[in-house]
Structures are given as C-alpha cells and as structure tokens.
Amino acid sequence: MRCTNRVSAGIQEARQLLKSRSKTRLLSPNGVKRGGTPRRGSRVSRRGWVGMRWAGLCLAAVIVTATQATPAGAKTHADAKISASLLALAQSKPMDDFAVIVRAAVKLNNGHHAERAAAAVQRAHGKVGRGLSIVGGASAILTGAEVLALANDPDVGYVSVDEAITATFDPVDGAALASSPGILEVGAPAAWRQLGVTGRGIGVAILDSGIAPHPDLLGRIVASVDFTTGSGTVLVAPADPGGHGTHVAGLVAGDGTASGGAYAGVAPGANLIDVRVIAASGSTHVSTLIAGMQWVLAHRNDYNIRVVNLSAGGPTTTSYRDDPLATAAEMLVFAGITVVVSAGNEGPAVRTITSPGNDPYVITVGGIDDSGTAATADDALASWSSRGVTPIDGLAKPDLVAPGRRIVSLRSPGSTLDQELPDRVVAGLDPLAPAYFRLSGTSMAAPVVAGVVALMLERSPALTPGQVKNRLKSSATALSYGSPETTGSGMVSAVAAVAASDQSAGAAADPVSAGFASEMYAQVYGQPLSWCDLAFNGGVDSNGVPWSGVTWSNVVWDAVTWQNVNWASFNWSAVNWQDIAWEDIAWEGITWEDVAWELVPVKDKGRKSHGGGKVLD
C-alpha cells in the first residue's frame, strides 16, 4: 500500500531517504538552531515531543520543523525521554546521585546499543555500570543534572530509574509455627504417581541469591553464575550467602533426601541453573536482574532452560511498556522460556502488583495461607499477597495463586537468613544438622508454580509459554474466596495442568512492551522499513500486508548477528503487534552486539545516592 496524498513533499523526500537505508528523526532540543533547518534523527513520539502524533503518515519518514515554543508546563523532547519518577527527582535534586538504566535510540547502521548508551553516559560525565544488551542499553550512576543533560543526547532513547529490588519473603511474624503441606495441596505427589512426571531434564533458572549445595539437589545444579559482584562470574561451586535462593530452589526441585521425602519440591527431577542476582542482604537493582536474564537468554540452549523463577519485585512506577525489566522478561518469553514471578507482598492494598509481575506475558503468582493443613476448606488469601489490578496499566493480576505461608524448604547454613531468623530452622533426618528452613511470602508461592511448569514441560515439551500460561489458568482450582484481582484464576493444580490438552494460548495477549517492539520488529520484517500509520490505513502496512495475516515463516533472519542467540526460535506468532502504537517507536533497525559485552561496575564516591524504590519486607 502506498501512503496517501496527504503526505507532504518533505515526507516524500524522507521516504526516498528511507529506501536508501537512511532514516529521518525528530529533533532533540539541542539539535536545531532557532530559525534553522532541523537535522535528521529518530522519531520517538511518546518518548519525544508530546502531541506530535502524525496519523496517516509513513512512520519512519517524518520531518518535523521546530517552529513553536514549548507550552508552559509541557514536557520538552528531552524531558519526555526520562521516566516521570526520575524526571521529578532529577529536577528537584540536581546534585544527588541516581542509579539509572539508559537505553539507546535504535539505529539502522549501528546496532551497538549498549556501547552507545555507555558512551552517552560518559559524555554526560556519568559513571557507567554494566552493559544491558538485552534491552539495548546500560546501567549508570548520574547526578540529577547529568540525567537532564543526558536526555539531550540523540543517541539516548529512554532513561529510567534502576529501581532497588528485594526478595519478596517473610512479610509477617510467626512463620515458624506450622508445618508445610503446600506441595500436597497443589497435587504434586499425585502428578508424580499418576502421570509419571518429575520435571526430569527440564532446566529451571533460579534468579535469586544463589543456591547452596544440598543433599536434596545432589547432581542437579548444572550451572552457577554470579552477577552481584560484577559482570557475571562463573562459580566453580554453587553457594548462597543470602539463603533465599536455596529455599526457592528447594520448592522447585528438592527431592526430600534429607527429610525422607517429607519436604520435597514440586519437580524433584528438574535441573537447576543458579543465577545469583540478589546480594546477601536480600537487595539488588533492576540492572542486575536484567544482566541475569541476559545470561539466561544467551545460554538457554546449553542447559535446556525452559523456566525462569524470579521471586523478587520492585515498585511499579511506569507502564510495563516502558519498563526495561518487563522488556527483558518478554525477550525470554518469546524465546520459549516461561517466566514465573512473585506478585509482591504489598497487600492487602489494591493495585500493588510489583514489577515485573505487571507484565502481561509473565505468570504472576499470589500467595495463599493454607492454615497449616493439606485441606483446601480452611485456605484464605494471605493478607500480604499483592492485589491487582496492576498500577498504571490496569491489567488483571495475579494470574493464579499457590501456597506461600509457612513453607518449609532447603536451608543454607550460615547465610544471612539463617543467622537472622534462627527460629525458622527445621530439622530433617539428622537433628544435629538441620537441613530445612521455613519462610513465608509470594517468593515461596512462585517456585511452586515454576515447579508445576517443569512437570508440564516434561510431559509436553513443545508447549510455548503462552500455552503453558493458558493451561495453568484454565486448569486452576476455583476458589470460593477472592476475585480475579486477588486470586486470579484460582490455585494451581499440578495434576490438572499436566494432564491438560488444550493447545490454545488463551485470550489475545496485550501489546508487547515498547522496548521489546523497538528492538525486535525490524528483525521480523527486515530492512528498510516504510510503515504507514495502521490506525489510518486500516491495519495494513505500507506494503499492503495485513498485520493479522503475517506469515512468520517468511521472516528474514539474515541481518541478525547477536552471538549465542537463535532468533529463529522466537515464538513470534504469540506477539500481539496489532495494538502497538507504532508511531511512538523509533524504527531505525537493529544489529545486536555480543551479549557478553560488559563494563566494570562503578563505586559510589560518596555523594548522596538514590536507589529509586522502596525495599520490600
């Protein structure tokens, strides 16, 4: 389809430039002299000048002349490239330090996004942290004034807070008072007996504080890497200085060796991949989580990683479409990895789902209190379990719930939790060497579901993350208490989920995040790009192809050069491209750099610092 006659001569000229693999851009405030001619740059509507939407015009071929002053109170082009929460902080505290994530503007002929983001930070006199290729950017430390200056750089696409995040466990007292029948309640032992599945051969990546060696995991921790001290150190021997990750790992895949089977996990045959992203203190940052996800994506085929468990969350301060953590999670999902996350422990208040649980493509798990019995009649929604709908976007979450209160799993002797909570220690077969520990929180509910996913994938290895999620929700046990915004579809049922045969991916998905779309769509259709506004053209691209009828097998993958990533395995058919606001996204192509690119983390020089988010209990 050709663009309409409403396209100006300047737009037609830009289309010709587009055909020769050049692109036009909106101008940043420092990119044009008053009364002068604007230079070319990337079009970023939502992240660019507010109100500059040009419906009906070719998206990648727009020339904008800056002739009018910015209205009082309106965001400038540069300000719109900064998340709202960060912009307010930077303006009010220009001399304070802020941990941020800087994503590069997408370029056609220069795909080294993380390197370009780092270079932009250095030009603004900030301190570069680590490369985050999976979201096309880098982490950094900048003062408020430096953040504001950075947004003027044409190489910068978006700047957001590198939120402080902590593991979501133990929000209540008294967690050491009862036994742990949760595994029985979700029917895991019945699934082992009736369906012959234990998760054998399925790799589950635990993004947490580490995994300590334990008799219940013998021979099944197949890889360990640590991102809490730098760019990713491969560990000769697994360890867990925090204690949280070992507990989570046991709920996924412990086999109960040290307890005579009493405290087994849901998938006792699954393999574990230890990705340490949470410090011994229980805290971390978004950039560290993203680095761990990036490693998982690059190594997913090495260890058959089909499931990721993330029992941590941070404050939801922006739409998932602009959240770099959501973008990283979606990268994993469309690469065929089911991502299971905790809903958060911010209940009973509504709209308290934490990030990345606010993303529609992940499986978000809330927690129930099983009252210390295997019966369901005395169950109740845990008071601390975060409720929906999601902040900002208003999506229905959590997706489902699982037991999360007073759950017994593996102990990491000498860890932070072990020292701080000695009353939570639980003996196994050897009372002189207690091997177990009791914790509460949605951190404990999420790995129960992750274990069920491992069982499902052993039986049906061809399932996509969308199909997994649909089967989990459609087979969940309906609850007499709660609502879709508190308990989702109900409590996970291992037998029903594993035995399900539905091949559907469920209802139409929500739009993917802008970060995922901007990085990936150019790869789907190849280059050059010449899209027209879908809203104006009735859902048809500029070549006359309806978006709903795209044949994904025709994707041209030749331009993809990111090492260790087989983009052809991405489940593109599950992506809802039709509702993406394409006029809001800069299309200039992509060539991913090597995922291993990293910079040495910086150390604070003593200025007042802001992590950007509150710490969870």
Are the C-beta atoms of residues 22 and 109 closer than 8 Å to each other? no
Beta strands in 417-513 (DSSP E): 425-426, 436-439
Contacts from 117-122 at CB under 8 Å and sequence distance 24+? 117/155, 117/156, 118/599, 119/155, 120/150, 120/153, 120/155, 120/156, 121/150
Are the C-beta atoms of residues 300 and 338 closer than 8 Å to each other? no
Q: How many residues does the chain have?
A: 617
Task: Find the helix or strand (DSSP H, E) in which 103 lies.
Answer: strand 97-104
Q: Respond yes or no: is residue 125 known to be catalytic.
A: no
Rounded Cα gap, residues 423 and 176, in angstroms: 6
Q: Which amino acid, residue 134? A: I
- Return the closest-CA partner of residue 49 out of 528, 37, 32: 32
Task: Put residue 35 in one of left, alpha, beta given phi > 0 → left and psi -120 to 50 → alpha.
Answer: left
Count the helix, strand and coil residues of the chain and give each as a percent rounded to the nearest 5: 30, 15, 55
Rounded Cα gap, residues 239 and 221, in angstroms: 11
SS3 447: helix
Rounded Cα gap, residues 375 and 362, in angstroms: 29
Residue 485 neighbours by CB distance under 10 Å: 18
Rounded Cα gap, residues 566 and 181, in angstroms: 41
- Return the closest-CA partner of residue 521 out of 547, 546, 549: 547
Q: Respond yes or no: is residue 77 known to be catalytic.
A: no
Rounded Cα gap, residues 580 and 588, in angstroms: 17
Catalytic residue among 77, 214, 244, 299: 244
- Return the closest-CA partner of residue 439 out of 246, 184, 204: 246
Catalytic residue among 208, 240, 359, 369: 208
Residues 471, 472, 473, 477: is their CA dihedral positive or negative?
Answer: positive
Rounded Cα gap, residues 463 and 516, in angstroms: 22
Are the C-beta atoms of residues 120 and 87 closer than 8 Å to each other? no
Q: Respond yes or no: is residue 208 known to be catalytic.
A: yes
Rounded Cα gap, residues 444 and 345, in angstroms: 11
Catalytic residue among 342, 443, 530, 542: 443
Are the C-beta atoms of residues 147 and 78 closer than 8 Å to each other? no
- Return the closest-CA partner of residue 24 out of 1, 2, 54: 54
SS3 263: coil
For residue 201, what is the DSSP state? T
Residues 493, 495, 500, 505: is their CA dihedral positive or negative?
Answer: positive
Rounded Cα gap, residues 617 and 611, in angstroms: 16
Reading the block at residue 356, the tokens are 């990345």
Q: Which residues contact 414 (CB under 8 A, 6 or more apart)?
A: none
Which positions are catalytic? 208, 244, 443
